[in-house]
Amino acid sequence: MRAACLIALLLATATAQARTLGGDLLFSTDTDDNDIRRTTVNGWEAVSEQLDLGASLNRTEFAALGRHARRTGVQYDFHAGALLSRGDLGVERLAGREYVSGNLMVETYRGEWTFGAGLERALVDSERGIALGLAATTAYLMADWSSATRGAAVVLGRTAYSDDNDRNRLRARLWQSVCDCGVYVQLAAETYSNSRPYTGSYFSPDRYTRALAGVGVRERTSAGTFAARAEYGVQRVDGEQQPSHTLTASFESPRSADGWQWSAELVHDRKQPGYTYSQAQLRLIKRF
């Protein structure tokens, strides 16, 4: 209700600037039968050429536990020259308790380089993490170099869990275009360690490393933009090596004459030994 009032207030005080209403539905499942469904509604108002303000309300259902969470949040999107910043701050209510969650990111552009930093806080969505009300706070730095035909990115982060476990994580990615048809090849790797391994509340080995190689495509047509990527490789968990893969596909429609636009995304990921995760998301927006 609070987010609905915020959305209504943004629109009621609107000037001639652009405004947007939208919603999305997310469903995820995994080999532990931890089914999650999240429904979100949001509204945005452009208060100036550089600044957009928004508000959102979502409900997340955790089927395995028979519980649900409600979240009310406010957002902003600021861009000025080579500077971009986005943020989301909200309160999430789960099992009679309230948690502050959200994210903040700042990026700056220097030619073909992008440098950024961010801060995120979210509930841990494993079954035991939900039952205990665990939260994770992540700070990260990133650098990205991209040209028309190739690119590279590095992300360095640190996550502090509310059960006193800290995780240091490094991710890297290289990609190379192979033709003008939108096809590219990619190498990706990540590694992290936990200060308190095997907490029992979520996947937390002493050391984890994953390396993947794959091919992707991104094609823009008059009907919309389609993207897909398939990556295969290995993951090493405390010295034990097993196969790993990630499959993604997405589609985004062009904006219609009356302001409607929709998008969809599918993800299937094997990022832990004997464990797979699948997610589907559908988003619909209306611009006035």
What letter would DSSP give residue 204? -
pLDDT score recorded for residue 15: 44
CB 119 within 8 A of CB 142: no
pLDDT score recorded for residue 130: 86
Fold of 2-287: Porin (2.40.160)
Determine how many CB atoms are found less than 10 A away from the CB of residue 28: 16
pLDDT score recorded for residue 18: 65
pLDDT score recorded for residue 3: 46
pLDDT score recorded for residue 12: 52
pLDDT score recorded for residue 274: 86
Q: How far apart are CA 83 and CA 158, in angstroms?
A: 24
Sketch the domain layout of the chain as residue ranges.
2-287
Phi, psi at 273, each rounded to 5°: -60, 125
Q: How far apart are CA 182 and CA 243, in angstroms?
A: 27
Going residue by residue through the chain, which has 288 residues, state the pLDDT in tens, using 9 for 90 and above.
Answer: 554 555 555 455 444 456 899 999 999 999 988 899 999 999 999 999 999 999 999 999 998 888 899 999 999 999 999 999 999 999 999 888 899 999 999 999 999 999 999 999 999 988 888 888 899 999 999 999 999 999 999 999 999 999 999 999 999 999 999 998 899 999 999 999 999 999 889 999 999 999 999 999 999 999 999 999 999 999 999 989 999 999 999 999 999 999 999 999 999 999 888 899 999 999 999 998
| Residue that is written with structure tokens 């936990």 in the block | 194
Q: Which amino acid, 47? A: V
Go through the chain and tell me how many residues it has: 288
Strand boundaries in 63-178, DSSP class E: 67-80, 83-94, 97-110, 113-123, 135-146, 150-161, 166-177
